[in-house]
Structure 1
Amino acid sequence: MRAAMGLLVIVGCVALAGCASERDKLLEAGDKSCTALNARFAGDLAFGEGVGMNDLAKMSERARLAEELAAEVRKLPAGETDQAALNKWLDSLASWAEEERKLAEAIKTAKFGSDMAIAMQVTIPDSVAKTTAEAASTVGFTTCSQTKEWMAFPK
């Protein structure tokens, strides 16, 4: 009888996706999306030696992908996830996307001699990326806390 109960628990856990909690599922789904996002940021959406007019479409796409990530995670049940920490991370994603768009706009509307202002503005999304990484780590994400590729000049 005891062996049958143990088997029932094992079968039940397998049927319920390995007994993963909602929090585990949220973290797994988020990290999976972050893996894809980080690959894009390091690949086709990476910046070259500088950031300029040729990168405006990349910046827009990078911001869109960060917002899409947040929207995906918001749809998932959080379970026993620390909601305040999760909200902080989601807000950080939104802030990063906003700063990426602001940088693109600054580049787009730059006038002769504004190089220094743009150089300073490049550091803002990088700073927000670090904050986003810290917030992701607090929630329990692994890949989502790796935001090196989000920075304009990660090396």
Structure 2
Amino acid sequence: MRRFASVDEFAAAKGEHLGYSPWRTVEQRQIDLFAEATDDRQWIHVDPERAKDGPFGTTIAHGYLTLSLVSAFMPEIFHIDGLSMGVNVGLNRVRFPAPVKVGSRIRGGARLVDIKNSPAGKLSTVKLTVEVEGERRAACVAETLSLYVP
């Protein structure tokens, strides 16, 4: 994990790759819990038997499940000391280039694309890429917006 002593030190890293989260395995139980929470129970996600004959040969994680893990990856990649709070403001752009098959290992990698002053603190744009171990294409690429308040 990369540590920054202040939001100003973080801002000085504009344009830099910030690092990677640890690898984590996406299990069927996690997919099932996400399906239950979101009422998205499409068979490609929750029916392993039917999915064996589907386009991926197994169940896959919801794209939005993969996207939701961005908020778990970011604090594993970097930490900014001296903040009173950090707030998720939204997203600029999100793509799902490849599926995450059940049992796959994934990790996030982050690049600080931009950071601007705002009345409340610093507004950052971080491009987070979710990689699938052994796969050429990313599972998710998202530009996240966060407000950091000193």
TM range (shorter): under 0.3
Give TM-score scaled by structure 1 length.
0.25
- Higher helix fraction: Structure 1 or Structure 2? 1
Larger Rg: 1
